Structure 1
Amino acid sequence: MAQNSDTALLVIDAQESFRQRADEWAATANPQVIDNVARLVEHAREVGDQVIWITHADPGSGGVFDPDQGFVRVFAELEPRDDELARTKTTVNAFTSTDLEEQLHRSGIRRVVVCGIRTEQCCETTARVAGDLGFNVDYVTDATTTSDIAATGDLAAVSGVDIMRRTESILSARGFATIITTDQRVSGSASA
């Protein structure tokens, strides 16, 4: 884990489990998510930021997040390295069920850059917890994705794009994170 900065890129749940839900994956709100995550990973490695891979597992469920099914692994095209920290969580955020906070403090990390899958769930929740723990948070919305939420009962359907915009608004307006784009991060025009 060679790194020489106080920043870590948290790649949240960019894992094969999601592609196993083929119809949902095909309708993802941001088809560019994997390309943008890959750009962020490449940039982090170039500038010496730590890259941390977080996957989600639901042991014993028998579903696509059950490690026994073999899909709880980072997308191969993202090419995680053996010397990069990897943690598997069983909670929505990346902190509660892992030693991530301890690892970040041990490495002198003060800023986290959040990207990955499920904009409004694991990514947003991780960003909020990171902020509560005192980390500066950059949230790269165009390097996240989600899917539509269908109407249920009296609740209206919500498009994945609307979910992504809402997440940006809440995180920014409430001071949880600075919203940036992949281009801003890799060009250096985002917070440093």
Structure 2
Amino acid sequence: MSLKKEDTPTLILIDIQQAFDDEEYWGGTRNNTEAEENAKRLLDYWRAHGLPLFHIQHISKNPDAKHGLNSPGHFFKEIVKPMPGEIIIQKSVNSSFIGTDLKEQLDKKGLNTLVIVGLTTDHCVSTTTRMAGNYGYETYLVSDATATFGKKGIHGEYYDGEMMHRTALAQLNEEFAAILSTQNVIDTLDVL
């Protein structure tokens, strides 16, 4: 795979929402505190170059949940808040493709190259990346523009956010996506 501007890469920003500001609720030890800053760098680049982008917003079926419509957590973080006219796709499950028209919109516009960023690496980002790879999209996941939290294992052991992030990336790498950094993406698109 080779990321090229002429292939009209499409930025997919997944669930960069206020709900994830409650670190303890999600398991603590969040890794990569610069993820939103890096996502903004990419978003600014995409906007400046007129490249397509989609904002994915998780809306829980439970209106009182952290991502529910009755909670401020469902709002996008200000740092990557959509501008008027930018496409917002709402979902209620981990995959950005299930129960949405994301695939139809991509296919209708002939967009085959996806650059994925967002929260959280091991949940919605991973699920969306896996499906994108399975659908045959040329898929890139930006490692420093994603982040996650710690998780309790099946025997009560604790895995911190950095471990969860790294293992999620390892599972996706070269099987479902190429893993790049924010600077890799920008440098590659600027050169070609």
TM > 0.5 fold call: yes
- Give the superposed CA RMSD: 2.3
Q: Which residue pairs with 2:24 in the alignment?
A: 23
Number of residue pairs matched by the alignment: 187
Q: Mark the CA change 1:179 to 1:191 in structure 2 (over 3 Å): closer, same or farther.
A: farther
CA contact (8 A) 2:23 2:149 kept: no
- Residues 39-118 of structure 1 mapped to structure 2, 5 A cutoff: 39-118=41-120
1:24: how far off?
5.0
Q: Which residue pairs with 2:3 in the alignment?
A: none
Q: Which residue pairs with 1:125 in the alignment?
A: 127
CA contact (8 A) 1:6 1:111 kept: yes
CA distance in 1, matches of 2:104, 2:128: 15
Partner letter of residue 165 of structure 2? M
CA contact (8 A) 1:5 1:49 kept: no
CA contact (8 A) 1:59 1:68 kept: no
Q: Which runs of 5 or more residues in structure 1 are unaligned?
A: none
Q: Does 1:179 align with 2:153?
A: no
Encode CA deviations 1:19-42: one digit per residue, 9 max, x unaligned: 2x2535774211101101100101
1:47: how far off?
2.6
Q: Mark the CA change 1:144 to 1:97 in structure 2 (over 3 Å): closer, same or farther.
A: same
CA distance in 2, matches of 1:134, 1:43: 25
SS at the partner of 1:48? Answer: coil
CA distance in 2, matches of 1:5, 1:138: 13
| More RCO (CA 8 Å, sep 6+) | 2
Range with greater deviation from structure 2 (96-105 or 47-56): 47-56
1:177: how far off?
0.2
1:161: how far off?
0.8
Q: Which residue pairs with 1:165 in the alignment?
A: 166
Runs of 4+ in 1 over 6 A off after TM superposition: 189-192
SS at the partner of 2:158? Answer: coil
Q: Mark the CA change 1:191 to 1:178 in structure 2 (over 3 Å): closer, same or farther.
A: farther
Identity of aligned residues (%): 25
CA distance in 1, matches of 2:177, 2:86: 24
Encode CA deviations 1:134-166: one digit per residue, 9 max, x unaligned: 1110000110010111345x2522111111111
TM-score, length-scaled by structure 2: 0.88
